[in-house]
């Protein structure tokens, strides 16, 4: 039995003091696969350093996070293009639209999202979507880009059942993390109605720690707490959750 964390920011400053020990804790508990989303050019070297230290376990993405879209968007997208041309990545991500913090760059976010989807298609890669306060806007872009060459993960899914079904209709898996364990998270109310073949596990570490660690630093080992919640919701064994969600991650990332 192995677990896959499909979305974890292991290069984050929050892990500066104990990064290696934290990763080794996860490995000891059978969390063996870590998919690392990019944020912007400032995170690239830290991602490569992780891969060099744990080459059998780290799988890198490349992309520009919507909250990093600013006046430098053109330079940042050029960096994404250059890195994708250099080497293998396992997804273009995390990309999308975030209207929670700042709406002033909405149009630039939308264009960057669309451009990066087209890069993913060029390299036959999945996308990993960040969406906050922007379901309609994200779905508008996915509708424009839909097709057999559009697929990936709707990271940190927190929407309704109807939005879950819409995301799935665009060949997206649902990235389920700590929110599923929250009393007010709401997705636990319908998640078991979504076929498990559409679900992958994630932590979004160091953010969004599951119960009983809510409010504290999240770690990849806590993906097991998410898996335990899904085991409860779906009425299947923890081993089945680990097996199916890891297979789903293989179907998306090709490894």
pLDDT digits (tens, 9 = 90+) for 30-40: 999 999 999 99
| Model pLDDT, residue 102 | 84
Residue 101 clears pLDDT 90, i.e. is over it:
no
Average pLDDT for residues 181-210, to the nearest whole number? 96
Question: Looking at residue 181, what is its pLDDT?
Answer: 97
Contact (Cβ atoms closer than 8 angstroms) between residue 4 and residue 227: no
Share of residues in the chain with pLDDT > 70 (%): 100
Say if domain 3-253 classifies as CATH 3.40.50.1000: no
Q: And the tokens for 141?
A: 């872009």
Tell me what the mean pLDDT of segment 160-174 comes to: 98
Q: In 125-238, at which residue ranges do the beta strands (DSSP E only) sit?
A: 127-132, 152-154, 172-176, 199-201
Q: Would you say residue 185 has pLDDT above 90?
A: no
- The pLDDT of residue 205 is 98
pLDDT of residue 253: 98
Q: Does residue 194 sit in helix, strand or coil?
A: coil
Helix (H, G, I), strand (E, B) or coil at 131: strand
pLDDT at 81 over 90: yes
3-state DSSP percent of the chain in helix, strand and coil, to 5: 50, 15, 35
Report pLDDT digits (tens) over 21-71.
999 999 999 999 999 999 999 999 999 999 999 999 999 999 999 999 999
Structure tokens at 182: 């929250």
pTM of the model: 0.97
Of 34, 25, 28, give the one whose Cα is nearest residue 7.
Answer: 34
Average pLDDT, rounded, for the chain: 97
Per-residue model confidence (pLDDT) at position 247: 98
Q: Quick one: residue 144, left, alpha or beta (phi over 0 = left, psi -120 to 50 = alpha)?
A: alpha
For 104-131, write each residue's pLDDT tens digit: 999 999 999 999 999 999 999 999 999 9
Phi, psi dihedral angles at 13 (to 5 degrees) = -60, -25
């Amino acid at each position: 039995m192995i677990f896959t964390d499909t979305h974890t920011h292991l290069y984050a400053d929050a892990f500066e003091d104990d990064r290696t020990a934290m990763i080794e804790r996860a490995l000891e508990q059978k969390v063996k696969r870590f998919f690392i989303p990019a944020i912007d050019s400032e995170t690239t070297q830290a991602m490569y350093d992780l891969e060099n230290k744990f080459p059998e376990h780290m799988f890198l993405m490349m992309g520009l996070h919507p909250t990093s879209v600013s006046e430098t968007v053109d330079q940042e997208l050029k960096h994404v293009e250059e890195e994708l041309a250099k080497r293998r990545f396992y997804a273009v991500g995390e990309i999308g639209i975030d209207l929670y913090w700042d709406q002033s760059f909405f149009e630039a976010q939308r264009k960057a999202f669309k451009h990066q989807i087209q890069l993913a298609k060029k390299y036959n890669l999945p996308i990993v979507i960040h969406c906050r306060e922007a379901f309609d806007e994200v779905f508008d872009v996915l509708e424009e880009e839909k097709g057999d060459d559009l697929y990936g993960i709707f990271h940190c899914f927190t929407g309704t059942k109807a939005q879950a079904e819409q995301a799935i209709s665009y060949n997206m898996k649902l990235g389920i993390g700590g929110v599923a364990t929250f009393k007010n998270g709401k997705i636990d109310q319908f998640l078991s109605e979504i076929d498990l073949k559409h679900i992958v596990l994630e932590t979004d570490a160091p953010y969004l720690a599951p119960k009983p660690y809510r409010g504290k630093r999240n770690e990849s080992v806590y993906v097991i707490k998410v898996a335990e919640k899904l085991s409860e919701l779906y009425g299947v064994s923890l081993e089945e959750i680990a097996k199916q969600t890891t297979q789903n991650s293989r179907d998306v990332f090709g490894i």
